[in-house]
Amino acid sequence: MAIRPAGSGVLVTLVVFVLTTVAFLVASVVLYSQMQSATSESKRISDEKKAWSGKIENANKEIESIKASEAALTKDKDSYKSKLNQQESALQSRDKQIATLQSEVDNQKKILAENEELYKASNAEMKQTTAPFSGATTAYSQNVQEMKKIASDSKDEVEQRYRARIEEMQKNIDGLGAERDNLRTRLDQAEKKLIVFEVKPEDPSSLVDGHVIEIGGPDNTIYLDIGQKHRVIPGMTFEVFSTPEQVQNNKGGAPRGKASIQVLRVTNDTSTARVTRSSPNQPINRNDVLINAVYSPTYTYRMMVYGKFDVNNDGQSSTGEASVIRNRIQEWGGQVVDSDKVTGDLDFIVIGNPAPEPLPLSASAGDIEIQAYTQAKNDYDTYNRIMKEAMDARIPILNWNRFRTLTGQGN
């Protein structure tokens, strides 16, 4: 038996190894190729799965939306069904009402037809009844027309007669008017002539009550030519003027002298007074005149005091403060007339602050408001009446400021 050489086995082994390696490589390439194909397919399948998952999700959302819409539609359907049932009930009720009304209409038509028949029968009967009076009615209508014509003719005649009478009276009125104008002109001329001879009353406030006879006494005192026999009392005050004309020239306002004095001591014929107010540029001189509206050496003034006064200057007027003025007048020899009637023997009227006109009462005013309104209205009317009557009678009117100035009390 022949023996193989050793190199042949190695060669076979090497060939087998190479073939095996080539086969392995081929198998590896095939497997790798298949693996890449499988990977691509897996990726494609995964992508398709994701796409289908998105589609399925969208489809589920659409299904949910469809379900929600279906639920809403179902709810609306129930609502519409309920409304439809209500409408059907309402229609049934209307049908019943229509039937009832139709029945009433039929009854009214029936009644109307019966009334028409009755009217026709009554009209026929009335024509038969009134037929005999038609002739009399025609005659009466003719008589009425004739009477209207007579009345119209009489009216025209009366109208013409009265128109002529009115024209005649108008002429008389025009003549009387001309005569009235002529008499008024003559009256005006007569009044102008009368004024020349009229004796005008003198304002007692401007009358001189005394004079200064000496100045320069101790403690700023002066001496007056009036005393006890002239009814002067201590405490009396006077306003000092240079001349009586100064009072006359200022009588329209509140005349103020150049000084004020107050009597301290009184003798039978003279008095001593102190100066309570003076003007640096107008010193008191001998023969200066003294004025006190209340006082007169020979005459007792009658004076009315009316209204509310603010004597203490506290801003509140009252009727009680009028007693201060009344007492002062009486102390200085005057007579107070306790009345609100203006008479011809009054010399002065001392009047308080103007009474305001009260506001109208409201519809809901009570007894207290009505009483207060009545009192305020009475005060207002009385104040204005006194002012008018005093001016008509030319009686001097003094308010509190003018009174105290004219009696030497004003500062």
Instruction: Express each pLDDT in 105-143 by its tens digit.
Output: 788 888 878 877 877 877 677 667 656 655 655 665 676
Do 212 and 223 contact (CB within 8 A), yes or no?
yes
pLDDT higher than 50, residue 185: yes
Q: What is the mean pLDDT of the chain?
A: 80
**pLDDT at res. 252:** 46
**pLDDT at res. 1:** 44
**pLDDT at res. 219:** 76
pLDDT higher than 80, residue 312: yes
2: left (phi over 0), alpha (psi -120 to 50) or beta: beta
Average pLDDT (399-406) is 86
The answer for residues whose C-beta is within 8 angstroms of residue 398's C-beta and 6 or more apart is 205, 293, 348, 349, 350, 351, 406
Residue 205: DSSP 8-state: G
Q: What is the pLDDT of residues 206-249, one digit of tens each?
A: 578 999 999 987 778 999 999 999 999 999 999 999 988 876 55
CA distance from start to end of the chain: 186
**pLDDT at res. 6:** 55
Q: What are the CB-based long-range contacts (under 8 Å, 24+) for 43-51?
A: none
Closest CA to 284 of 239, 237, 318: 239
* Domain residue extents for the chain: 140-198, 204-406
**pLDDT at res. 408:** 77
The answer for residues whose C-beta is within 8 angstroms of residue 380's C-beta and 6 or more apart is 355, 356, 357, 358
The answer for residues whose C-beta is within 8 angstroms of residue 329's C-beta and 6 or more apart is 294, 301, 303, 305, 335, 336, 350
Residue 201's pLDDT band (cuts 50, 70, 90): very low
- What CATH number is given for 204-406 in this structure? 2.40.10.410
Residue 200's pLDDT band (cuts 50, 70, 90): very low
